[in-house]
Chains A and B, each alone.
Chain A
Amino acid sequence: MQPLQQPLRIALIGCGQIADAHLQEIAKLRCARAVAVCDLHRDLAYQAGARFGIEAIYNDHRRMLQEVRPDIVHVTTPAHTHHRLAVELLQHGCHTYVEKPLALNAGEVGEIIAAANASGRMVCVGHDQLFDPAWLECRHRIDSGEIGAVRHVESVLGYPLSGQFGALASSDPGHWVRRLPGGLFHNTISHPLYRITELLPDAEPQIDARWFARNNADFPSDLRVELQGGAVTGSLLFDTAIEPQRITRVYGTQGCLTVDLDAQTVERRRAPKLPGAFGRLETPWRNWRQSARCLRRNVGRFLRSDLHYFAGMRGLIEAFCNAIQAGGPPPIAYTEMRRVTHLMDRIFAEMQPLGVQPVGVQPSGCRTALDSRPPTAVSTT
């Protein structure tokens, strides 16, 4: 019998909204426990510590590292601070989990990975939806050949600006997210993008990206991206005028799977086998049975207390802890971190206002509508 391993000690830097999700999911794990929180605003660190029963609160992360000596540090600060903090933490000898996006560009990601390799510590990016139970089921069904070979992936993120973070970012021209190279998109499209790249083998797909501003927004608010690989294509829709939703449709040669991460359903659509008008009956019959199956499964999961919004995050944090303890490969491959960031760089560099004919690569496509100055203020919220 192997000796039981001590829970890994996790510290967290940046006590804004997403930090709550991290602390809540860490509290459910046996393999780890949160031991300290830190924010430049001590009041923010205090509120997180008080609510999650963490006594060690700091507004200086270096002091926290010295005094607490955590095994893992979660970085939940604004995106423009990720690179500097991640490199510093890895060099200090901490395994590091960084919220998405990992950094502002592929160059910074390369430096973070180099720091991880040099220090012998592991880095993980918060691509947690890949560990969501509905997504894992979808992957399993794709891998078992249920829809044949994947040909197209359609990824939708509905992100109304009336939401908490959206309202904050849209009403404040000086908000840090507005000053990222990709503006609001930089902080939001990782999730729908990696749900495509997970199934898109090409390293350098062709990209056509268009943005526009909705509802008199004074910044690019909506984005459409088409990705064309050799055998697989993808389309990403980031929309602020539709309901909040996280839906992916994977089209294969023998059908289509629709994953709804919010409803926790995976449903298959395929052409009817019956001819003519009978097929019109077969399809709704199949759909009805699919929905009944999803309902039955979700009722079962509800009774087992297994329906959680951030289940994917818990799965990823647990996988990261297990990888650290077992010395195994990181749960999100470094090559994938590089690839997703590289594609985001290309999207932001090549995207054009909707309605304008593409005239080749225009690095200023996004920055024409955004302040291109790099953010300097290091707020950890």
Chain B
Amino acid sequence: MQAVVTGATGFLGRRLVQSLCDDGCAVRCLVRPSSDLSALRRDLAPHWSRIDVRRVPLDNRDACRDELNRGDILFHLAAGLTGSASTLFLNTVIPTRALLSAAADAEVGRVVLVSSLGVYGTSQLGRGDTLTEETPLESQPQLRDPYTFSKVVQESVAAETREQRGLPLVVIRPGVIFGPGRGVLSSRVGLQLGNILVRMGGTQTLPYTYVDNCASAIRQAGFAQGIEGQALNVIDDDLPTAAQLLRRLARRKQKPRTVWVPGACIGPLSGLYEWYHRYSKGQVPGVITRYRSSALWKPLKYSNARAKQHLGWTPTISFHEAFERATSENGQNRR
């Protein structure tokens, strides 16, 4: 069975290819013409001769079609992570539209789209509510950050292709992916301002997933039976709160300098910032709004029950072990 992977040169993609190779799958990687293959080549050195790497402009439907065959399992991970909304749409939404159309043309066996846990309309949830696959998707994605906006639209493009073309689609929505080389701090903990971390609240549970656990879930999504049409949240067990994570980092003497914004102050301060952004006609960037703060830093619970049930998956690496690996000297330095 042929596995086809986009985004194979990325942080998660390399682990997925590794996992597929370990399982003995034939893997074809579709990489953009501009992609740097050095990290993939380094990480996959033992398997390199068995990996078929094709440089393909992913926004070109015909070029993608040429690389796909009937029955292939397509893992679509390629996406932009940073930049303006237009850049992210160019790197995420437009390639997805072309690639999934090509996948439907080719009648692939399954498409696993790697989306994000950020696509949910969490600002509509109450404090302490549980976020599950039943939680409605973000209805006003343009009010969120550009990355979330692009991922919500990417999912809608995939859903549209599934409805119109019968694409055998499975959507995986990972939480924040961490691991060696990427560290454990994210915007879910706070905002990085130069060398200072503005810590937002602290009681919010961090919806994290260790890169190997996540890659394992994605691999399972390619092969598990009868899950077409499902969307599954992938997060680890025993998730820490932001405060607990920072305490762990402090014990390892890796905690950055922080300024604390208490949870009760996040809303009013965000509102104040948003007001000044508008009042000053954009003299400060509109990166913080009440809506975004509410979506990002509200204390919620997270469930991975459905992923466990449908994929037969469990996060085999505990958070404790994952944290150790991600923050060890070797892990920090590994890029």
Contact = CB atoms under 8 A, between A and B. Distances in A.
Interface in A138-192: 164, 168, 171-174
Contact of B93 (A17, A43, A50, A381): A43
Interface residues of A, number: 27
A43 B57 CA distance: 17
Interface stretch (B17-25, B119-127, B278-286, B297-305): B278-286
Interface stretch (B64-72, B78-86, B326-334): B78-86
Interface string B256-286: 0000000000000000000000011111000
Contact of B142 (A17, A47, A173, A305): A47
A50 B33 contact: no
A381 B84 CA distance: 12
Given A28-B281, A308-B281, A308-B282, A47 B85 contact: yes
Given A50-B142, A172-B33, A302-B283, A20 B93 contact: no
A102 interface: no
B110 interface: no
B34 A19 contact: no
A28 B283 CA distance: 12
B33 A381 contact: no
B84 A51 contact: no
B87 interface: yes
B90 interface: yes
A15 interface: yes
A15 B279 CA distance: 26
Contact of B281 (A20, A44, A172, A305): A305
A51 B87 CA distance: 14
B60 to A, nearest CB: 11
B208 interface: no
Contacts of B283: 302, 305-308
Given A41-B94, A43-B153, A51 B281 contact: no
B107 to A, nearest CB: 25
A42 to B, nearest CB: 9
A47 B83 contact: no
Contact of A172 (B34, B141, B149, B279): B34
Contacts of A46: 153
A381 B282 contact: no
A171 B34 contact: yes
A381 B86 contact: yes
A199 to B, nearest CB: 30
A117 B268 CA distance: 55
Nearest to B59: A41
A174 B141 CA distance: 32
Given A47-B153, A302-B283, A164 B93 contact: no
17 contacts: A16-B86, A20-B85, A44-B86, A44-B89, A44-B90, A50-B142, A50-B149, A51-B142, A164-B83, A164-B84, A164-B87, A168-B87, A173-B33, A173-B34, A174-B57, A306-B283, A308-B281
Interface of B: 32-34, 36, 57, 83-87, 89-90, 93-94, 97, 141-142, 149-150, 153, 157, 279-283
Given A43-B94, A173-B33, 10 more contacts: A16-B86, A47-B86, A51-B85, A164-B83, A168-B87, A173-B34, A306-B283, A308-B281, A308-B282, A381-B86
